[in-house]
């Protein structure tokens, strides 16, 4: 898996993108923030993260990491955009993930991997599958209720907490990975 596209170059996405590049992947980091894109492409960082700038600079200098406002086709897509609460009832705002789904859908090809790293409520991956599938009726996506059915696109949700129940399907088509930290 050599080509990776990371959506959201903030406190989660940028270190993740930089480490992928540091370990030899070709990474395009996508952000809607022009200042972030320009700063990263100069080998600098726009966030406070000790030690990160040197890794970003090296990755940009050797051509492994490039920031952009627009995504490119990749083998894997990692999504690290915000998921804030909205309103008084603390409903999670999935509009950032929806925007990424819209940008990502036209690029998908059979065998691609989509990883949702944004903190998400239960059901967010299935919601994302619905958004992607609506744009790409030519591809098949994992269905939670049919975990053993082969699909064109692999979907993962990464959760670095014990908040969500781990869900694992035999063929890893729709997977929640829970890591206790």
Ligand X SMILES: NC(=O)c1ccc[n+]([C@@H]2O[C@H](COP(=O)([O-])OP(=O)(O)OC[C@H]3O[C@@H](n4cnc5c(N)ncnc54)[C@H](O)[C@@H]3O)[C@@H](O)[C@H]2O)c1
- Of the pair 119, 125, the CB lying nearest ligand X is at 119
Q: Is 43 helix (H, G, I), strand (E, B) or coil?
A: coil
Q: Measured from the CB of residue 12, what is the shortest distance to ligand X in angstroms?
A: 3
Q: How far is the CB of 5 from ligand X (least distance, A)?
A: 10
Binding site for ligand X (CB under 6 A): 7-13, 30-33, 36, 80-83, 96, 99-100, 117-119, 158-160
Minimum distance from CB of 155 to ligand X (Å)?
A: 15
Of 112 and 117, which CB lies nearer to ligand X in the complex structure? 117
Residue 158: exposure state from Cβ atoms within 10 A (0-12, 13-18, ≥19): buried
Report the residue number whose CB is nearest to ligand X: 10
Query: What is the chain's alpha carbon radius of gyration, rounded to the nearest angstrom?
Result: 16
């Amino acid at each position: 898996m050599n080509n990776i596209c990371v959506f959201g170059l903030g406190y989660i996405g940028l270190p993740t993108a930089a480490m992928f590049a540091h370990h030899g992947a070709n990474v395009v980091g996508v952000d809607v923030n022009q200042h972030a894109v320009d700063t990263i492409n100069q080998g600098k960082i726009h966030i406070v993260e000790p030690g990160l700038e040197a890794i970003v600079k090296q990755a940009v200098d050797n051509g492994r990491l490039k920031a952009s406002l627009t995504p490119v086709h990749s083998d894997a897509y990692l999504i690290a955009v915000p998921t804030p609460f909205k309103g008084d009832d603390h409903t999670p705002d999935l509009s950032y993930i929806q925007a990424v789904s819209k940008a990502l859908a036209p690029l998908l090809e059979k065998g691609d991997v989509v990883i949702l790293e944004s903190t998400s409520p239960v059901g967010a991956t299935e919601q994302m599958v619905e958004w992607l599938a609506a744009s790409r009726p030519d591809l098949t996506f994992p269905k939670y209720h049919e975990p053993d059915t082969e699909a064109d696109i692999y979907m993962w949700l990464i959760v670095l907490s014990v908040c969500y129940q781990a869900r694992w399907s035999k063929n890893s088509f729709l997977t929640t990975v829970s890591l206790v930290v």
